[in-house]
Structure 1
Amino acid sequence: MKPLRQISIFHSFQNRNYRIFFAGQSVSQIGTWMQRTAISWLVYSQTHSTFMLGLTIFASLFPSFLLSIFGGVVSDRFNRHKVLFITQGASMIQSLILTILILTDHYSVWMVIILTTFLGIINAFDVPARQPLVNDLVKNKEELPNAIALNSAMVNLARLIGPALSGITLEFWGAGICFLINTLSFGAVLISLFLLKLPEYKPKTKQKKVVTELVEGFNHLKNHPTLRTVLLLLTGMSLFVIPYDTLIPVFAKITFHGNASTFGLISSFIGLGAICSTLFLASLKPGTDLKYILLINIFILGVGLICFSHITYFPIAMIFVAMAGFGGMTQTTICITLIQVHSDAVMRGRIISFLAMAIFGMLPLGSLLVGAASQKIGPANTILAQGLIALLIGLIFFNFLRADRLKKKDKKVLEMVEDQLIETL
């Protein structure tokens, strides 16, 4: 009989540091999703432009694409714990400025976009430090996939709760209160970082040049086919498929004839599908073929988007948008897990920065592409096309994602043949 820790969905919570970090991040992520939802609604309400929606998301993510590689070097070179104190504190200041501008009604859409750009710069250094830190919070490295899955579940629980709260708050009190709540939520994550008890940080005795460390990271990536292929897959999905949520405010207002609460509700159903996916991943047994599950969920995402695109009956549409949330988050979480597992510890920050570049570089470009395409062919046809592209990407990477499963099958067949030969002899 297997020990409880191997079959419990929450066995990573046995680690004190991970519990504290998880709690602080949970509160902060709800505030973050409230702010994201409020910004999208604010920009669309002021401009009624899908292109401006895409531009806002571009502004929030593209700086991370440009600077994440340097964030990876910082993560590998300095104390990640202290780096997070700085980035989370800076994010709190950004949210506070946004709150003051909105509450005093001294803002323009371009001010919001500039502040969003500033947050993108902060995230370029925050993500490469925060993701590898999870590795340092669990003692038993076999628990890492479970910890990453629970971390994603926490983000997606916030994605479920945050937009719903944001929709209600926008309806009754306005965007400024959403930004104020996000500002206050950073207190939780700063307190959790303060309470962590980590081993004493030992700086590198000899610092290499930044260029040298970047070259080392590229070489590590070049010499590991799994890392390369996973990043290529994630790049394609982030450019052509995942930015479908850029058009959700349009569906809320035009397709479903709703308001801010409708927008928040659709976003929450995406979050519901996403949290179900991460709880599913957290429940998997050690040794499960993650690549094969990734393949299945790419097709789930594609089918969900295709069906959602042209359905105008709200309850049915929410089933398919939840499917899209399930498939989309599963593929992102599995890609993060595969990269963490297959990369060397000394290179992990830089490899995570490549992951961040794949996401933060392609998502903003994809958002611009989606915004422009929707003005030409309409929002419904744009999301239909994204679903078809997801199926195409699944077919392109079909052999890679099934390779491990076929190897195991061949090994099993070989063992059966050997057993039969032994019995015959």
Structure 2
Amino acid sequence: MKAAPDPTSRLRAMGRAFADRNYRLFFAGQGVSLVGTWMTRLATGWLVYRTGGADAAWLLGAVSFAGLAPTFFLGPLAGVLVDRWNRHTVLIVTQVLSLLQSAALAGVAFAAGPGPGTVWLVAALSVFQGIVNAFDMPARQSLLVEMIARREDLPNAIALNSTLVNGSRLIGPAAAGAVIAAAGEAWCFVIDAVSYLAVVAALVAMRLPKRDRPRTAGSIRAHLIEGMRYAFGFAPIRALLLLLALVSFAAMPYSVLLPVFAAVVLGGGPHTLGLLSAASGVGALTGALYLASRRSVLGLGRVIVIATVALGSGLVAFAQSEAVWLSAGLLVLTGAGMMVQMAAANTLIQTMVDEDKRGRVMGFFGMAFQGAAPFGSLLAGWLAGAFGVQAVVTGSGVIVIGGGLVFATQLPRLRRAARPVYARLGILPEAPDGVSAATEQAHGARA
């Protein structure tokens, strides 16, 4: 009779990346900093809404676009430079620049008065932060590998990172609401600026192994072309990036339309909006914890298909719901689907990519994940004015489901393409025929 799984063993597996001192430092510093980041996101929106006047709704979309679009345009170039530079140094610089940006936002907020002048200053600082983030994402994702001594613990580190992001997503906005009510938006930005000191201190305290970085030959343009050919010439990475871009473009914009659902469709107010946002965050946190509990990449291809279809189905059902608690429950599903799809794709890409091209591939990852979303938000806002928010979110869900099903049809081919890479890296044990049996399943269902 098969023994029941040991819950204690599963809990230990969830935290196995903490065995590395460097990762423990990174996790602790990020835990403090991310709460401040989410406080700034909410405070920025409220400051724009408060000072934007009659154009506040349009300005909210414009400021959001200003903060995210640079990743789309600069992500690939940033990835090239991250591969040429010291990733640890790049990440320290991005954190210091983010600290200065938050301090500048605090100065703007302390002096803020009604009118467009304040909003355009906020937009300009959002563009600056977007440029910083374009470099921060590939540097952060690439450095993660250097923090983890055992490559098989990398999926756990990525999942724990996602858990941290979504845990802070629940704490930060609530804290920001209390601070804004008590003292105003400026103090949220001050707290965020101070919080960056924690992650800078953690990065400085790390003792990373010395890695011989080969001398860079060739121009930036040549390296960009090489990275593009590698990322989009290798079928498994190309398929994961395209699916991620589709989901980001079609599904993420629903969050921009949440205020309309809360007020118009569900007949609620700020508390309803808070409930919907929290429900999505709870789902994302649950999905991240599920991934952290997994011991390997075994079966992640199937997991991506299930998560993508669940996300699309949740969006379609949410668009039709007119009951608050049903809508909140469906957003738990969509939040979990979004997080699992994104983090699982990240895990598979990180375990397959060649080390000397990691920064460039993660630049394309940032372009797909963060860069596609603002364009989808702009389109969704325009279509919502013409056809209504329910029709737009329904269409988004159908597109996501279609993308997931197309990806499912490609899994056998992607599995065959990835098989030699996993066998060469020795990430998973070899099957009797010399092929990694786990890799067989890591990219989809058995044929």
CA RMSD of aligned residues (A): 2.6
| Percentage of pairs with the same residue | 38
Q: TM-score, normalised by structure 2?
A: 0.85
Kindly indicate whether residue 23 of structure 2 is the aligned counterpart of residue 18 of structure 1: yes
Mapped partners of 2:235, 2:348: distance in 1: 12
Equivalent position to 1:179, from 189, 195, 200: 189
Residue 132 in 1 paired to residue 142 in 2? yes
> Cα 1:119–1:259, aligned 2, differ >3 Å: closer, same or farther?
farther
1: CA distance between counterparts of 2:107 and 2:227?
Answer: 41
Is residue 27–residue 188 contact of structure 1 (8 Å, CA) maintained in 2? yes
Unaligned runs of 5+ in 1: 415-425
What whole-Å deviation, never above 9, does each CA across 1:78-103 have from its counterpart, x for those lacking one?
Answer: 11111111111111111111111112
Match of 2:71 in 1: 64
Contact 1:65 1:357 in 2 (8 A): yes
Q: Which deviates more from structure 2 when the two are superposed, residues 317-326 or residues 98-107?
A: 98-107
Alignment partners' CA distance in 2, 1:293 and 1:90: 37
What runs of 5+ residues in structure 2 fail to find an aligned partner?
A: 418-430, 434-447
Matches within 5 A, 1:25-424: 25-44=30-49, 46=52, 47=54, 50-106=57-113, 108-200=118-210, 202-256=212-266, 260=270, 262-401=272-411
Contact kept, 8 Å, 2:10 with 2:293, in 1: the verdict is no
Most deviating of 253-262 and 212-221 = 253-262
Aligned residues: 409
TM-score (norm 1): 0.89
Residue 14 of structure 2, aligned match among 9, 20, 33: 9
Which residue of the partner structure matches residue 419 of structure 1?
A: none
| Greater relative contact order structure (CA < 8 Å, 6+ sep) | 1
* Farther off after superposition, 352-361 or 303-312: 303-312
How far apart, CA to CA, are the structure 2 residues paired with 1:398 and 1:312?
A: 32
Q: What SS does structure 2 have at the residue aligned with 1:105? A: coil
Inter-partner Cα distance in structure 1 for 2:19 and 2:118:
47
Other structure's SS at 1:8 match = helix
Q: Report how far residue 353 of structure 1 moved.
A: 0.5
CA distance in 2, matches of 1:212, 1:392: 35
Deviation at 1:312, TM superposition (A): 3.6
Task: Kindly provide the CA deviation profile for residues 318-341 of structure 1, in whole angstroms up to 9, marking residues without a partner as x.
Answer: 111111110011111011111111
Task: Provide the rounded CA distance (Å) in 1 between the counterparts of 2:415 and 2:210.
Answer: 41
1:230-265 deviations in Å (ceiling 9; x for gaps): 111111111111221112233344445555555444
Q: 1:175 Cα deviation (Å)?
A: 2.4
